Structure 1
Amino acid sequence: MPHPGWSSFSFDGIGTRWEISTAAGLDTGVRRQLLDAVEEYDQTYSRFRQDSLVSGLATKPGRVELPGHAAALRNIYEALYRLSNGAVTPLIGSSLSRLGYDAAYSLAPSGPAEAPPRWEDALDWSGTALVAKEPLVLDIGAAGKGQLVDLLGSILRSAGHSDFLVDGSGDMLHAGNQPVTVALEHPYNTAQAIGILELQNSALCASSTNRRAWGDGLHHVLDGSTGRPIRTTIATWTMAASAMVADALATALFMVEPATLEAEFDFSWLRVVSSGAATFSDGFEGKLFT
């Protein structure tokens, strides 16, 4: 939780709830910058709005020019696509839509699970230039919210704020001399916690199959090589220097063994499997309840 006496600015954006906590209050101009950044990100990448930059690619091939920060997003997706043998992919949107997590939030499958197109066949993404070779549904949800957390943190730093917590519904970035205590939500009971950790000058992101779940065993964490929901892992938490990296790795841990990811990324982690057993890295700073 943020420190007593800190100011809080809450709002909705990209389909989630945001809370920006700062030691010093936010003036109107900074608040407007934060709101504009969230709106611009949504208008660029959202697959749930017809006026987004990428939405037209779902019906016909084409080229779009993305913002400058898209290059970092592309690079982390490329690395995870390679390390996961295609299981982590920015093209998972068509599989999600087929299972009912579509632009209309129908939550009604239109057919059995189906793998999305392979990156190398359907997509040419170099830096900020993205070319769809065929109709495709881009979904950068595995890392996008984390990147937006980082972007909001950059706005706060540029405005002179050195003590803050950006919280995008559990994806967090902290800065300051005093850590904040964060509860780790129980994956089977959102009213309980399985542990706590102290977050300081770092990012924490989580992913769980109890979020955005519908129907019989359907949820938003899919294996991109099959299009099917993951059954073995049920929740992950990751800590890294940036929220984009932590967010991406929280998803990747559902499909990739930690050692494979640790060979290329500097992060700590906690993973809970369907049996309820928890494993964690040596550097994970949380404390689990017994």
Structure 2
Amino acid sequence: MPHPGWSAFRFEGIGTHWEISTPVPLGPEVRRRVLDTVEEYDHTYSRFRNDSIVAALGRKPCSVSLPEHAAALHSVFASLYRLSGGAMTPLIGSSLERLGYGPDYALQPRGDAAAPPRWEDVLEWNGSTLTASAPIVLDIGAAGKGQLVDLLAGVLRSAGLDDFLVDGSGDMLHSGSQPVTVALEHPYDPSEAIGTVILDNAALCASAANRRAWGDGLHHVLDGTTGRPIQTVVATWTMASSALEADALATALFMVEASVLERAFSFSWLAVFSDGSARFSSAFDGTLFS
């Protein structure tokens, strides 16, 4: 939670709730820049908007140009696609829509689970340019909210603010001289916590199967090699220097052993499994309740 007495700027964006906490209220110009950044990101990447830039990739083979920060998104996705053997992929959107999680929010499967096309077969991603040789449904949700947290932190810093907490519905970035204590939401009961963690000038991101779940065992964390929901892991938390990496790694922990990820990224983590057990890294600065 932010420090007592801090001011909170709350708003909706990219389909979720946001709160930016600061020692003093944000001025009108900073608030406008925050909201403009969120709208630009949504207009660029949302697969739920027909007018988004990436929506063009789903209509026909084509190339699109994205903002410069797409290069950082590509770097993280490319690394995790390789480490996961294709299980974590930005092309998972077609599999999600097949299971009912599409722009119409039907939440009714259109057929059996199916893997998306392989990245190397249909998509060239060079920096901020994407070229698809066939219609694809790009979904950067595994890391996008984290990147937007980083971008909003950049807006605050450019306005001269050093003390803040950006919270995008559980994906957070803290900056300042006083750490904050954050509760870890119980994966089966959002009103309860399974522990707490100290967040100190770092990002904390979470992924949970219960956050976007529907039907019989259906949820949003899919294995890109099969198109099926992953059932062995139910919730993860990661801490890293950037929310982009923390967000992506929280999803990757559903499908890749932590030891493999730790060889490529600097982060700490906690994972809760479907059998009720939990594992965490030695550097995870938190406390689990008994």
Q: TM-score, normalised by structure 2?
A: 0.99
Matched residue, 2:75? 75
1:267 matches 2:274: no
CA distance in 2, matches of 1:201, 1:168: 16
Letter in 1 for 2:289: F
Cα distance, 1:57 vs. partner? 1.2
1:241-256 alignment, distance < 5 Å:
241-256=241-256
1:11-50 alignment, distance < 5 Å:
11-50=11-50
Letter in 2 for 1:124: E
Cα distance, 1:24 vs. partner? 2.1
Matched residue, 1:64? 64
1:75-154 alignment, distance < 5 Å:
75-154=75-154
Letter in 2 for 1:20: I
Taking only the aligned residue pairs, the percentage that are identical comes to 69
Matched residue, 2:222? 222
Listed one character per residue, the Cα deviations across residues 130-155 of structure 1 (whole Å, up to 9, x for unaligned) are 00110000000000000000000010
Letter in 2 for 1:272: V
Cα distance, 1:188 vs. partner? 0.9
For structure 2, which runs of at least 5 residues remain unmatched after alignment?
A: none
CA distance in 1, matches of 2:188, 2:241: 28
Kindly report the root-mean-square deviation, in angstroms, between the aligned alpha carbons of the 2 structures: 0.5
Listed one character per residue, the Cα deviations across residues 7-63 of structure 1 (whole Å, up to 9, x for unaligned) are 110000000000000112210000000000000000000000100001121121100
Letter in 2 for 1:150: D
For structure 1, which runs of at least 5 residues remain unmatched after alignment?
A: none
CA distance in 1, matches of 2:97, 2:233: 22
CA distance in 2, matches of 1:13, 1:155: 16
Q: Secondary structure at the match of 1:142?
A: helix
Native 8 Å contact 1:206 1:236 kept in 2: yes
Q: Secondary structure at the match of 1:48?
A: coil
CA distance in 1, matches of 2:237, 2:159: 30
Matched residue, 1:162? 162
Q: Secondary structure at the match of 1:143?
A: helix
Letter in 2 for 1:36: D
Q: TM-score, normalised by structure 1?
A: 0.99
Q: State the aligned residue count.
A: 290
Letter in 1 for 2:255: M
1:187 matches 2:187: yes
Matched residue, 1:178? 178
1:284 matches 2:272: no
CA distance in 2, matches of 1:113, 1:68: 34
Listed one character per residue, the Cα deviations across residues 145-167 of structure 1 (whole Å, up to 9, x for unaligned) are 00000000010011011000000
Letter in 1 for 2:276: G
Listed one character per residue, the Cα deviations across residues 220-266 of structure 1 (whole Å, up to 9, x for unaligned) are 00000100000000000000000000000000000000000000100
Cα distance, 1:282 vs. partner? 0.6
